[in-house]
Structure 1
Amino acid sequence: MAFTHLHVHTEYSLLDGMIHTKDLIRKCAEMGMSSVAVTDHGNVFAAIEFMVNVKKHNKGVQEWNREHPDEPKPIFKPILGCEVYLAPTPLDVKKQIPGRHKYTHLILLCESNVGWANLIKMVSRSHLEGFYYKPRVDMATLREFSKGLICLTGCISGPLQEWILQDQPEKAEEVLLELLDIFGKDNLFVELQDHELEEERRCTPELVRLARKHDVPLVVTNDAHFLNEEDHDAHDILICVGTGNKRNDARRMHYPKSVYLKSEEEMRRLFPEYPDAYENTNVIAERCNTSIKLDSTSTERYPEFATPDGSPREEYLRKICYKGLEERYGKERAEHDEELRRRLDYELDTINHLRFPSYFLITADFINWAKDHDIPVGPGRGSAAGSLVAYCMKITNIDPYKFGLIFERFLNPERVSPPDIDIDFCQSRRPEVIEYVRRKYGERAVTHIITYGTMGAKSVIKDVARVLNLEFADSDRMTKLIESGPGVTLKKSYETNEDLRTLIEQNDMYREVWDYALKLEGTIRNVGMHAAGVVIGDRPLDEYVALTRDDLSNPAGEVVAQCDMGAIYNAGLLKMDFLGLKTLTVMKDAERYVRWRVPDFRYDAVDIQDAETLALLNRGDTMGVFQLESGGMVDTCRSYGIDNIEDIIALLALYRPGAMQFMDDMIAVKKGLKQAEYEHPLLETVAGPTYGVMIYQEQVQAAAKLLAGYTLGGADLLRRAMGHKDMKEMQEQRNRFVKGCREVNQIDEKTANAIFDKIQKFAGYGFNKSHSACYGHISYWTAYLKAHYPVEFLCGLMSNEATNEKIGVFIQEANRMGIEVLGPCVNHSAVKFQPETMPNGHLAVRFGLASVKSMSSETVRVIVEEREKNGPYKSLEDFCYRIPPQAVRRNQLEVLVQCGAFDWMHVCRASIFDSIEQCLNGASSVHKDNEAGQMSLFDMTETVSPAEEQVTVQEWPKAKRLDEEKFLTGAYFTGNPLDSMRGIIDQPRYVQIGTLPDLEAEEIRSQRDMAGMIRAVVIKTAKSSGQKFAVITVEDFTGSTEVLLWGDSYTKAAAVEGLLQEGNFVRFRARITIDEKSGGKKVSGNGLELIGGKSRRGGAASAHYYEITLNTARHDEGDLQLIRETLLRHPGKTPVHLNFRNSLGNRACIELGERFRVTPSPALDEELSLYS
């Protein structure tokens, strides 16, 4: 007797199944079953992972059988399948048919490799062409791809059951006969299930009758969604997560308790009257013999690169590498440097022996295409920079010879695995490169890669708490006790956090959440598209893997493989990472601006030992400098003392968790404050350049080679072993190392063991030098641009920021550097930020119109092109007449006025805004006349002037103007309500709000001081406790953020009369954490207190002073006289602060004498609205 489960849903039946494939195999083996089918809903996501896990299981079985020949275990057989959704209509009909379900269910099992090939084609079509609520197939698709497949008629949602439950058995018979015609008698089975559902018991007699009548065999299955009977309640929670219901919702979807992986004994109790139905599970299992080739080292599925001259790829690779060697090092050295030539030959021989020449030729081809089309490409990334071949082919741009980079760190002949060349491209033009690859190798042979999002430690707590109807505050209490970051699990959190243990152990509500969360943690929650991974095949990819879309509801969505990175790797498919790096675009934009002044400038050809650049780094002036701008890194740059590019490379390798423990020792040795200690003189050769600390993985390899005679490939295996911490393997490596030290360098056993211990310690924290060298150069180049061409560099930075908040940070940096940022202007702004020469000859940054909210790049392009073609706009009317009405919408025109883009008209914004309707109507008439071929009065004039008769419109209050500027651009241009507090808010002790997104891991959860102005206050009440709390929006010169005031923090703030009001300047202690949903930063405040008084815009009546702001470029003595007269008309006791601001952003503030003190009032505000 035996039984095989043929209807099983894993976690890849998203938020419906909760079985992990490893556990499935283990459980089946424990129950004496030697095979099982995986049949997920509408996809084959699990297929390769399932096969890999079976392979691992069988390896263990073989080892057991060798050691226990008298107690052999059976080899386990995987059965690949899918529960497909069958449409009631042809696939192109996507609508609800009255009286029919949108889809029914069928089980398809692969009998052979032909069946697998047909299944993945069928599933691909269901996702790419048949999606309607679910990815569906139709009868025609079944017929087309039926060969090699066994069909089971499905669960209670099957196509036969649909008609039986409607009391139309004749329709069910028609469906059975059609399936019989498609699959044949040998490959169709009528499926019986019993989950104690009334509907199933109604269907079973009719299903048996139809099967017997048409001689179709029966088969018994269980619709397994979880492994064990006791998992039902956790699975019930999972279903609620998927459907969005609460557990106590009366009408929500339920599964019966019996949908678990039952034992054979339990299954045989269901239909004892049909013994043949049980035996057929084994008949099917014996017939299903599918094998997916799993060989990550095979290149059979790689596209074959066609060489331009028709020569063999190996010869062509060698030819272009030697040509590149001459271009990189000069003819003399390329011909006579034997060491260089030996290394190149060694790398070429290794690449050819491992059959990877096409990989390098394909990579070089699309990289060089990108460069030929002026698409910025990074200097390299990861270990590929250690290859001289890659350098000669211009795949990378860092000399591996000069920087001591190791080829075996990239491609190890002693541990064969595919090369992995990750490439950084300009973020905005990366899609062009992928499209080139598609055109070259075929649309159907190139696709993106899927990713699976799982229920992490914090998110699973929140999901379960929501389903159990807990208040946010309760779930938040738990999640706050769990760390953020990779590798965090509930089990680890419980073991290491006493507060968390106490909370769970002393409260049944939290215990229930915790128990369910433990069972669901790690379960797949959703799918997405890998940010960089692209698969390139030698033929249409649906011959190897099934396909889907990143958004199934969007027919134009990106096609992605139904395999993640690991599955692609195991399937032997070529995977490339096309990464988008914004900094490349920043540098390219800056380079383009610099060339206006220096035509031959190239950022990657600058002096690598420039004194001004090094000085900028050493004073910590690194805002905007690649990977060196975080608060902690700024301090490190100042204390380290950067002397050269090698120091930057070292800092990037060292500034990461774990490795930072060596920072102080390195700095002390570097500055001569202490001596580095070496157990052997040869160790100094390796670690001396980094002041006694082995910070690079390559140093571990070099030490093993130099001291113990390892090959570099063998040393790479040692490095990996140290990282994996396998005790058995580590002991073997230690013995080999000690023996090698003795034989090669006569080092005694005690010293050799001490050296091994030291290397092992560093190996745990060592970083890939090849990667650090590449990114160290990018850091240097951005620092060089900032040091020598700051305006151009800032333009590049701001042009490539998507958020106004970060633009505000860079505008603040420009002000600090004495660089003026000019506001948006339809007559001067380009699409992006760009340099502009002011009348005094200085360069300023001009705000880019595309960075104004609501302004699309296409709209802005029309505005700029018209101006460049026909000259500056002369008025709002002129603008409206010249721009096609479909190019700029009314709301966009309003935005341009509100942000100040028409201020050059020297008419108040309110008046310009008020005339928009009239201008648009007039322009519309002209455009209609032009389309009709009629001449208008406008056509007879050379220019259009503003209307001579202006209706007097009162200017908006300054507060309104500033609000709109800030909202639309992220910055203030005609004043700043925070100016009077600049000296306080700008102090280094306060973290800048705009830098919150860039805070690194070690800076999160820390207590930081923050200061700014309250822009909004919202008081809320917690549902569970009835406790009040506040969410306030706080703004500083770099941005704004919401701050949560909870518990005592709120109680104390609310107790201070007038503190929680808009316009107040405040400071507080901020606790910064990660928002699990958005991935952004959350701020909680404590100790909120008033600083300096209240901004005038918040309400003059309670102000501690009255503020007036003058711009020296716009205001003169006449304004001062007007202000003097106005103040004297409103005498009182409130001091007056007079702020002066020049065109460079420099500011000064004076307090006027007592005779000018005033009584604040709306009337006074109105009279001085232009200066507020």
Structure 2
Amino acid sequence: MSARLFVHLHTHSHYSLLEALPKIPDLIAAATADGQEALALTDSGNLYGAIEFYKGAKIAGIKPIIGVDFYVAPRTRFDKEHRVDDRHARLVLLAKNKTGYHNLIQLVSKSHLEGFYYRPRLDRELMETYRDGLIAILPLFGGEHARHLKDNMKEKAEEAISWYKKTYSEDLYAEITHHPEIEDHEKLQKDIMALAKKAGVPLVAAHDVYYLKQEDALAREMVNKIRTGGTLDREFGGGTSDFSFITQEQARKFFEEAPEALENVGRIVDACDLELTLGSWVFPEITIEGKSHDEALRELAYKGFEERNLEETPAMRERVDYELSVIAKKGYSPYFLVVSDLLRYAHENGILTNIRGSVAGSLVTYLSHITNVNPIEYGLPFERFLNPERPSAPDIDMDFADNRRDEVIDYARKKYGEKNVAQIGTFGTMLARAAVRDVTRALGHSYGIGDKIAKMIPFGKQGFPVTIESSLAEVPELADAYKKDPEAREILDMARKVEGNARHVGVHAAGVVIAPSPVTDFVPIQLDPKGGKVITQYDMHAVEDAGLLKFDFLGLTNLSTLADARDRVRDRLSVSIDLDTVPLDDKKTYEMLSRGETLGVFQLASSGMTNYLQELKPTVIHDINAMVALYRPGPLSSIPAYIERKRNPSLVKYLDPRMESILKNSYGVITYQDDVLEIAIQLAGYSWLEVDKFRKAMGKKIPAEMAAQREKFTTGCLARGMKKEVVPKLWEQIETFAAYGFNRAHAASYGNLAYKTAYMKANYPVDYMAAVLTSDAGDVEKIAEVVNECKRMGISILPPSVNESRGTFTVVEKERSDLAQARFATTIRFGLYSIKNFGTGIADAIIAEQEAAGKFETLADFLARISDKNLNKKSLEALIMSGSLDDLAPPVGGRKTLLTHIESLLEYRREHQKAPVGQDSLFGTSLSSRQAELKLPEEKPATLEEKLAWEKELLGFYVSGHPLDRCKDALAKQKYNIKQAKEGFPRGVETVIGGYLESTNAILTKNGERMLFGRLSDYVGAVEIVVFPRTLKENEKLFSAGSCMMLKGKFSDRNGEASFVVERVKAL
């Protein structure tokens, strides 16, 4: 490499979280544009962007040098004493080869797991242990030698550089930079050059990069303020310092007096020759004694015939053998064995599972108890999941009951090794709205202006985020603010500089890697900053590039609900239900769905879906699967045709007779993504590889790709005899569908789960609804909706009771004559865990005492038997006000008597707790005499309004009744409840809602006029109302808390939530 050339060896990207600005593609583009033949990425203490950088640089034709700008502890990495170990030095390490790259992974991981103290830190022990294959550069500003020189500790500086020289030998360099604008830089640099010369350490020219252009200096300072929570100093002097991506021409001028430093850049570039093998899969270590992985999977599959009660016909054997051959040729048998093992553990421990996606098309996975639906019965193609031509690895998304998902991850750690398992990291990025808000605060502008600008930016869709640039082009109001308001322009300009940058590290919702050896043999790890879980520093894409397959452990609440209902039925009725074998032709289930009673049913509970089910009147599982698939953007418009054709099969028609074999079960309606793919294969001659590209092209909606696919599809259809006039009609049908349709296997899996939840609701209604209430605990609106549904079903909901409640919602049985009667018990009690200001500890103590010694016969009995110290005034008040002591309270006065004399109750309890254990029995003190000691003066009973207010405060909603009960007849005439109106009416369209005014808050406008905010609720929902001055002035007496009313007005969005702007009011 010529001394005239320069490349950057000390470069930070946005993955130096909130410290630097450049995105990796922009850094690579800048290096390429300047003719730099290599580039190093050295983010602060991490390798987050290493794989993205490596791949991008290779594509661009420049040499990638992977490195890290490390933090170095002043003592050891384990020393973390305040004011002693806060200050750290810096060290840049670059990987020369694979050994160096793997040592970087070890150093990064250990600095995070062992050395983290404000920052992830190395110490000398780690540097000595993992020094091979690395080039070390002592940074001019942060190096340990420089720190000591700045502190006038020359001997310590000499000791430090000598130690580094001894450790890294010929691979150590001292950095020099060019910053004449920084005070004392020239002196420090001269001292360092002298120190390095004395120690025999060569110099290297570098320019610590934090942004691409000098004009971005202020933006870089701003992201620092976002990180620290500070506000940008408007007199910021750092804007004159240059940490930009300088060109080769600039470098030649800057370092013309130190040519050897430029020459050493070339030496380092030549020494670094890292070649990574990406995309070569490694699987967890799973040993089956005496068998290969392929043999073990074959045995597992064939064993499944008997376990699944399937006949082993020649056709079935042919299908299994074909699938096994594809899996074996691709080397994926270990993956399937691990997934089967994880799901086996779940099944054996009563953890419900479901598998989503195209994997349900595999007979091998069904026989291996991975999936829950038989692909033969549903006509599911294996090739949609895996085929000989498909290059991508298998992807099996495992759903577990969300309250037990972590148990399966823990099992994986124990089975495959703690160090071999990690959850996948992910990055929270600064999307347009969030960037605006962050920037507003860091620049010191008022919250109001940032909030106003952010709300002008539309919400994006998952996978398609809205940008500031596109918003300025599409939202006139935002463009106008940008032109006319200097504050808005500054905020938006700054936000554009950081938009899309990584802001923080988090945990992927589902992804876990299981390696055959420690995860750090493949990728760097750290702790999740919030939860303390071990996570990969690479995101899911980089993890897969590094060779680790992603195992998706998803948590699904509906599975927890279903398992809870199953267990309640087992415990209460002694009935064991195998949810995998429930009959799929249960008449009661289909009748319930046909009546539209879908609340609490997976995938089928939305108002739109419910309406369609009432029209469809499903009779077979295929109807459920079809509705799950069709109720999505794109296919939604096909639902009416599906319903009409089910009712009247004579309406079924096919554009081409050959489509009948594909669409017969869906009455000729394209229902699944597979329908489109099979049409392309059978009618247009696509291969499975080509059809996979076709599907992806449709999903991306890139016009050029779609046009190319249309031409290919048309040519193929015509060549295979389709009528010319039919082809465009068929293309029109499939064009929208291909992008949005569910694959048939996914719909079958979700449809099957939806049916199971419906089956349990139809056949074990009270147990299922108790499970639904338990799952939704904490969500006031959802609970209110479920309680209302219970009442419609004839199920009473009672307040908690110290004698009948458990922790969660509890089914209460009265005397019964037989099992059939018990099956349809009609009462559910709130659980003790539901009470606010009442800990689970005291709740558990009450339940344990009740189970150990029986029900509490009197209030005195309760106070005497509960010795837990947490039964104090606050918790006793909560029990009384929530109704938990109603059946022990005095018949006259009830809750009011107990509340009025709560000090007497506490005093009685204190006196009793002082008595020696066994005193009652020794002196013959009976339960009745204890009760006599606890006589309380009678008080006037609490009013219904007081009871309801207490229940609302302690339980979150009304149980003994509802404030609206007094005007429910008038409300019954209202077509929509608040929840339906909020979800169903477009913003700005006039509508009418009715309800109970829970609370009000009047304010003065800038003009000194009164306006009002309030909360209106009905039996199932609530909404904020806004009453402007004119409307309030005309109707002020009607807007008092506690009033029942009908309101006419329009929904709008306020602070990201729906609100209702009132135009007219009528008292009820």
Is residue 305 of structure 1 aligned with residue 308 of structure 2?
no
Residue of structure 1 in register with 2:829 after alignment: 846
- TM-superposed CA distance for 1:1055, in Å, is 5.8
Match of 1:324 among 295, 304, 323: 304
Tell me how far apart the structure 1 counterparts of residues 1038 and 538 of structure 2 sit (CA, whole Å).
Answer: 56
Q: After the TM superposition, which residues 237-316 of structure 1 pair with which residues of structure 2 at under 5 Å, given as runs?
A: 237-247=222-232, 256-295=240-279, 298-299=280-281, 301-307=282-288, 309-316=289-296
**Structure-2 change in CA distance of 1:1064 and 1:465 (3 Å):** farther
1:413 alignment partner, SS class: coil
Change (3 A) 1:991 1:208: farther
Which residue number corresponds to residue 54 of structure 1? 57
Shift of 1:257: 4.9
Contact 2:1044 2:1067 in 1 (8 A): yes
Change (3 A) 1:199 1:952: farther
Distance 1:273 1:667, change over 3 A: same
Distance in 2 of aligned mates of 1:240 and 1:274: 36
Report the Cα offset of residue 448 of structure 1: 0.6
Residues 652-708 of structure 1: CA deviation (Å, up to 9, x unaligned) = 111122322333444444444994653321123323433443231111222123224
Is the Cα contact below 8 Å between 2:845 and 2:868 reproduced in 1?
A: no
2:137 corresponds in structure 1 to 152
1:1034 aligns with 2:1016: yes
Q: CA deviation at 1:284?
A: 1.4
Partner Cα distance (1:888, 1:158) in 2: 59
Equivalent of residue 701 in structure 1, options 677, 696, 708 = 677
Structure 1: segments with no counterpart, 5+ residues: 58-74, 1076-1080, 1094-1172
Structure 1: distance between partners of 2:91 and 2:1008: 51
1:539 aligned partner: 517
For structure 2, the residue ranges without an aligned partner over 5 or more in a row are none
Q: Secondary structure at the match of 1:219?
A: strand
- Cα distance in 1 for partners of 2:724, 2:808 equals 65
Range with bigger deviation, 219-228 or 790-799: 219-228
CA distances 1:340-395 after superposition (whole Å, capped 9, x unpaired): 221111100000000000111111111011111111112x2111111111001010
Is 1:791 matched with 2:737?
no
Question: Does structure 1 residue 606 correspond to structure 2 residue 585?
Answer: no
CA distance in 1, matches of 2:997, 2:182: 60
Given that residues 547 and 559 in structure 1 are in contact (C-alpha distance below 8 angstroms), is that contact kept between their aligned partners in structure 2?
yes
Give the distance between the partners of 1:1027 and 1:112, measured in 2 at CA: 73
1:634 equivalent among 605, 610, 630 = 610
The answer to which of 871-880 and 359-368 deviates more is: 871-880
Match of 1:1058 among 1026, 1029, 1037: 1037
- 1: CA distance, partners of 2:143 / 2:637: 62
Q: Does the alignment pair 1:527 with 2:505?
A: yes
Which residue is equivalent to 1:177? 162
Greater mean deviation of Cα atoms: 768-777 or 163-172: 163-172
Query: What is the CA–CA distance in structure 2 between the aligned matches of 1:751 and 1:978, rounded to whole Å?
Result: 59
Shift of 1:286: 1.6
Change (3 A) 1:21 1:984: farther
Output the CA distance in 2 between the equivalents of 1:946 and 1:987: 53
Q: Do the aligned residues in 2 keep the contact of 1:1004 with 1:1074 (CA within 8 Å)?
A: no
Please give the TM-score of this superposition, normalised by the length of structure 2: 0.91
Q: Distance in 2 between matches of 1:564 and 1:231?
A: 28
Identity level (%): 34
Q: What does the per-residue CA deviation read over 1:909-943, in whole Å, with 9 as the maximum and x for residues that have no partner?
A: 3443465555556656766776xxx7645765454
Question: Out of 365, 378, 396, which is 2:341 matched to?
Answer: 365
The 5 Å alignment of 1:713-724 reads: 713-724=689-700
Question: Larger deviation: 897-906 or 970-979?
Answer: 970-979
- The reply to whether residue 773 of structure 1 matches residue 752 of structure 2 is no
Deviates more, 1:165-174 or 1:337-346: 165-174
String of CA shifts for 1:1022-1050, please: whole Å, max 9, x gaps.
99x999865423332235454556xxx45
Question: 2:320 and 2:414 mapped to 1: Cα distance?
Answer: 32
What is the CA distance between 1:411 and its match in structure 2?
A: 1.2
The equivalent position to 1:10 in structure 2, one of 3, 13, 29, is 13
Provide the alpha-carbon RMSD of the alignment.
3.1
Tell whether the 8 Å contact from 2:108 to 2:525 is kept in structure 1 after alignment. yes
Residue 36 of structure 1 aligns to which amino acid in structure 2?
L
Q: 1:963 pairs with 942, 946, 949, which one?
A: 949
The answer as to whether partners of 1:876 and 1:912 remain within 8 angstroms in 2 is no
Contact 2:988 2:1050 in 1 (8 A): no
**Contact in 2 for aligned 1:1005/1:1073 (Cα 8 Å):** no
Aligned match for 2:965, one of 975, 979, 984? 979
**Alignment partners' CA distance in 1, 2:767 and 2:41:** 58
Q: Is contact 1:723-1:763 (8 Å) kept?
A: yes
Instruction: Report the secondary structure of 1:97's partner residue.
Output: coil
Report which stretch shifted further, 969-978 or 27-36. Answer: 969-978
Change (3 A) 1:1083 1:529: same
Q: 1: CA distance between counterparts of 2:979 and 2:655?
A: 48
8 Å contact from structure 1 (residues 1013, 1065) kept in 2? yes
Q: Secondary structure at the match of 2:81?
A: coil
CA–CA distance in structure 2, aligned partners of residues 122 and 839 of structure 1 = 68
User: Which residue of structure 2 lines up, in the alignment, with residue 1118 of structure 1?
Assistant: none
Tell me the equivalent position of 1:1153.
Answer: none
CA contact (8 A) 1:195 1:259 kept: no
Matches within 5 A, 1:673-692: 675=651, 678-692=654-668
- Using the TM superposition, name which of 388-397 and 125-134 deviates more: 125-134
1:489 Cα shift?
2.6
Q: How much does 1:405 deviate? A: 1.1
What TM-score do you get using the length of structure 1 for normalisation? Answer: 0.84
1:728 and 1:995, CA in 2 relative to 1: closer, same or farther beyond 3 A?
Answer: closer
- How far apart are 1:217 and its partner, in Å? 1.3
1:895 and 2:875 aligned: no
Distance change >3 Å, CA 187–CA 844, structure 1 → 2: same
Amino acid at match of 1:17: A
CA shift, 1:1013, in A, is 2.5
State the number of aligned residues: 1046
Residue pair 1:1016, 1:1033 contacting (<8 A) in 2 also: yes
Distance 2:1003 2:46 in 1: 44
Deviation digits for residues 413-435 of structure 1, max 9, x if unmatched? 20221111111111111111111
The answer to whether the 8 A contact 2:358-2:746 is kept is yes
Change (3 A) 1:255 1:356: farther
Deviations 1:589-634 (A, max 9, x none): 2122333336133344333223332222223221111112122222
Query: Structure 2: how far apart are the matches of 1:1026 and 1:189?
Result: 68
Distance 1:1008 1:10 in 2: 51
* 1:764 partner SS: helix
Among candidates 80, 86, 90, match of residue 76 of structure 2 = 90
**Is the 1:423–1:577 Cα contact (8 Å) retained in structure 2?**
yes
Q: What's 1:108 paired with?
A: 93
- Partner residue in 1 for 2:419: 444
In the alignment, structure 1 residue 434 sits paired with structure 2 residue 409: yes
Q: Per the alignment, do residues 1056 and 201 of structure 1 end up closer, same or farther by CA in structure 2, a change over 3 Å counting?
A: farther
**Corresponding position of 1:1097:** none
Whether the 8 Å CA contact 2:353–2:398 is kept in 1: the answer is yes
Q: Distance in 1 between matches of 2:77 and 2:873?
A: 42
Q: Which moved more, 1:338-347 or 1:141-150?
A: 141-150
Contact residue 106 and residue 158 of structure 1 kept, 8 A = yes
Residue in 1 aligned with 2:203? 218
Secondary structure of the equivalent of 1:1057? helix
Contact kept in structure 2, 1:8 and 1:223, CA below 8 Å: yes
Residues 949-974 of structure 1: CA distance to partner in whole angstroms, max 9, x if unpaired?
42556666654432221122223233
Partner in structure 2 of residue 132 of structure 1: 117
Aligned residues of 1:791 and 1:843 also touching (Cα < 8 A) = yes
Over 3 Å counting, the alpha-carbon distance change for 1:145 and 1:942 in structure 2 is: farther
Measured after TM superposition, the shift of residue 249 of structure 1 is 6.3
8 Å CA contact 1:695, 1:765 repeated in 2: no
In structure 2, relative to structure 1, the CA distance for the partners of 1:1033 and 1:193 (3 Å cut) is: farther
